[in-house]
Amino acid sequence: MLTGRRWFGTIGAMLALTLLLAACGAAAPAAAPTTAPAAAPAGEAAPAGETAPVAASGEPIKIGAIFDLTGATADVSTPYSQGQIAFVEWKNANGGVAGRPIELIHEDYGYDVAKAEELYTQFVGENVVAFSGWGTGDTEALRPKITQDKLPFISGSYSAALANPAETPYNFLTAPSYSDQLIVAMKWAMEDWKAKGNTDAPTFAYLINDSPFGRSPLDDGTAFAAANGVATPLEVPSPKGATDLTPQLTQIKDSGAHYVFIQNVSSPASLAMKNAKSLGLDVQFVCLNWCANEQLVKLAGPDANGVVGTIPFSPAGSGAEVALAYAKEKGIDFGGADSSFVQGWTALSILVAGIEKTAADGKDLTGENIKVSMETLTNFDTGGVTQPITFTSTDHAGSKALRVFQVTDGKWAPITDFMTAK
């Protein structure tokens, strides 16, 4: 009978799939001896440094991490993830934490909150002692869980809501919050406006990612603008996966905005700059953290010239040199996204500094102890990448100042000294 035959077809297809999977599974262990596990070679093959580094050994300290390698923010999350993975390799090759290696348990979550929760519970089940998250939406969603599990958490999100330990006792911000970044950007814009000889107030607009990440700093920014006599900025969300932002930019053009603050990742931001050029829109774009990077310059080309950005993790300074030199030595290709790579590296180094402090104090490496150690971290030097990091038990915003940069001739160059939102 026909249905019977089709049934066999189905079974056949399933068998074929199973065999294929089994073949992959069988091939896996066979290949193992020739290709050593990823974490180990970094320990064995010590880099030729001036000091003879001792590779870490013993029971690994596990840190969980989720990255967005396939989702809406993959353009900046990929180099960020490479920075974190490289940092762990480098750290292990240089003695690890009190002689013990770090194991970074990481996986792609595709910017999907539910997937982030699933991976989080999985990694917690594997006894991680700290966690490195990514997006605003998922960091917020995990807030109740990490508080319950007492797990110190850093993230690629700098939402101001995460800096208050009274509400989020286990979240640590390694950079000025998005709100602070926006306020610094606005401060710069108002000074710039005055310097150009205008006496009236400038007009602002927001071009944002259509997500909690995009909207995170807007309330604080608008309050700051209002306090300084600037009209409420127009809020224009750019749709996910848009290939043309002309309608959004036309809306901004009609509003007569002089400064457009972009809270988005590099690809849509560069698209906005290209579209603005063809639309003849003459505004000053100001990028916050995740679009103020080399990728923007690469993608937007000459249209990026003159763009201003708040870069909390400067890819210059001795700390960045270590990271970039290691990447060069190991041949890590992060697509020229120096600042995102350095950001991932440095952010994790801050978390690991907290763990190191716990170990140095001779305490057990539990989430609770690491949190206490993190809160005593004072003026931790990131080698010029950020201002020295200080956490206290009442303030989890580790760094409050950053410099404003501008693209000139395809390069980001600082145009101000360190500025704070205060």
Q: Between residues 114 and 360, which has the closer beta carbon with respect to other proteins?
A: 114
CA distance 284 to 203: 11
Considering only residues 125 to 184 of the shown chain, the ones binding other proteins according to CB under 8 A are 125, 136-137, 140-141, 143-145, 148, 159, 161
Burial class (CB within 10 angstroms; exposed 0-12, middle 13-18, buried 19+) of 145: middle
- State yes or no: residue 7 binds other proteins (CB under 8 A): yes
Q: Is 318 in the site for other proteins (CB under 8 A)?
A: no
Count of residues of this chain found to bind other proteins when the rule CB under 8 A is applied: 50
| 368-377 long-range Cβ contacts below 8 angstroms, 24+ apart | 368/150, 370/129, 370/130, 370/152, 371/150, 371/152, 371/169, 371/170, 374/152, 374/172, 375/165, 377/350, 377/353
Closest residue by Cα to residue 374 from 348, 353, 349: 353
Q: How far is the CB of 379 from other proteins (least distance, A)?
A: 32
Interface of this chain with other proteins, residues 44 to 83, rule: CB under 8 A = 69-70
CA distance 237 to 239: 6
Residue 107 interacting with other proteins (CB under 8 A): yes
Single out the segment in contact with other proteins by CB under 8 A; choices: 32-40, 295-303, 335-343, 357-365. Answer: 32-40
Q: Which of 61, 76, 104, 119 binds other proteins (CB under 8 A)?
A: 119
Stretch that binds other proteins, among 29-37, 265-273, 278-286, 376-384 (CB under 8 A): 29-37
**Is residue 89 at the binding interface for other proteins, with CB under 8 A as the rule?**
no
Burial class (CB in 10 A: 0-12, 13-18, 19+), 134: buried
Least distance in angstroms from the C-beta of 213 to other proteins: 9
216 binds other proteins (CB under 8 A): yes
Q: From residue 280, give the alpha-carbon distance in Å to each of 246, 275, 276, 277, 309.
A: 11, 8, 6, 5, 21
234 interacts with other proteins by CB under 8 A: no
Minimum distance from residue 41 beta carbon to other proteins (Å): 9
| CA 29 – CA 313 distance, rounded (Å) | 40
The mark string for 235-254 relative to other proteins (x by CB under 8 A, - otherwise) is --x-----------------
Tell me the HSE value of 323 on the side-chain side, using a 13 A CA sphere: 36
Contact 276, 303 (CB under 8 A): yes
Q: Which residues bind other proteins (CB under 8 A)?
A: 1, 3-4, 6-7, 9-10, 13, 17, 21, 24, 28-29, 31-32, 35, 37-38, 69-70, 107-108, 110, 113-115, 117-119, 121-122, 124-125, 136-137, 140-141, 143-145, 148, 159, 161, 210-212, 215-216, 219, 237
